[in-house]
Amino acid sequence: MNIVVCVKQVPDTATERKLRSDDKTLDRDAADGVINELCEYAVEEALRLKEAHGGEVTVLTMGPDKATDTIRKALAMGADKAVHLVDPALHGSDALSTSYAMAQTLKKIGFDLVILGSESTDARTGMLAAMLAERLGAPQLTLANKVEIGDGAIRVQRVTDYGFDKVEASLPAVVSVVEKINEPRYPSFKGIMAAKKKPVQTFGIADAEIDAAQVGVANAWSEVTDFAVAPPRAAGTVVKDEGDGGVKAADFLASKKFI
Ligand X SMILES: Cc1cc2nc3c(=O)[nH]c(=O)nc-3n(C[C@H](O)[C@H](O)[C@H](O)COP(=O)(O)OP(=O)(O)OC[C@H]3O[C@@H](n4cnc5c(N)ncnc54)[C@H](O)[C@@H]3O)c2cc1C
Question: Which residues make up the interface to ligand X (CB under 6 A)?
Answer: 37-38, 179
Sign of CA dihedral 119, 125, 129, 130: positive
Position among 23, 56, 134, 207 found at the interface with other proteins (CB under 8 A): 134
Q: How far is CA 43 from the centre of its chain?
A: 11
User: Please, what is the minimum distance in Å from the beta carbon of residue 17 to ligand X?
Assistant: 17
User: Please, what is the minimum distance in Å from the beta carbon of residue 127 to other proteins?
Assistant: 3
Residues 34-73 within binding reach of other proteins (CB under 8 A): 37-38
> Residues 68, 195: contact at Cβ < 8 Å?
no
User: Please, what is the minimum distance in Å from the beta carbon of residue 210 to other proteins?
Assistant: 15
User: Please, what is the minimum distance in Å from the beta carbon of residue 36 to ligand X?
Assistant: 8
> Residues 167, 155: contact at Cβ < 8 Å?
yes
Binding mask 98-127 for other proteins (x = CB under 8 A): -x------------------xx-xx-xxxx
Strands 81-85 and 113-117: unpaired
Nearest to ligand X of 206, 247 (CB atom): 247
Residues 190-249 within binding reach of other proteins (CB under 8 A): 220-230, 233-234, 236-241, 243-249
Spatial CA neighbour of 102 closest among 122, 81, 127: 127
Nearest to ligand X of 13, 170 (CB atom): 13
Q: At what angle do helices 68-77 and 37-53 cross, to 10 degrees?
A: 40
Contact call for residue 149 and other proteins (CB under 8 A): no
Nearest to ligand X of 37, 122 (CB atom): 37
Position among 1, 169, 194, 200 found at the interface with other proteins (CB under 8 A): 169
Per the DSSP assignment, residues forming a β-bridge with 144 are 158, 177
User: What DSSP string runs through 25-81?
Assistant: SB-TTTS-EEE-HHHHHHHHHHHHHHHHH--EEEEEEES-GGGHHHHHHHHHHT--E
Position among 1, 55, 145, 146 found at the interface with other proteins (CB under 8 A): 145
Residues 80-99 within binding reach of other proteins (CB under 8 A): 94-96, 99
Nearest to other proteins of 56, 134 (CB atom): 134
Q: Which does 226 bind (CB under 5 to 8 A by kind): other proteins, ligand X, none?
A: other proteins
3-state SS class at 160: coil
Q: Please tell me the distance from the alpha carbon of residue 42 to that of residue 39, in angstroms, as a whole number.
A: 5
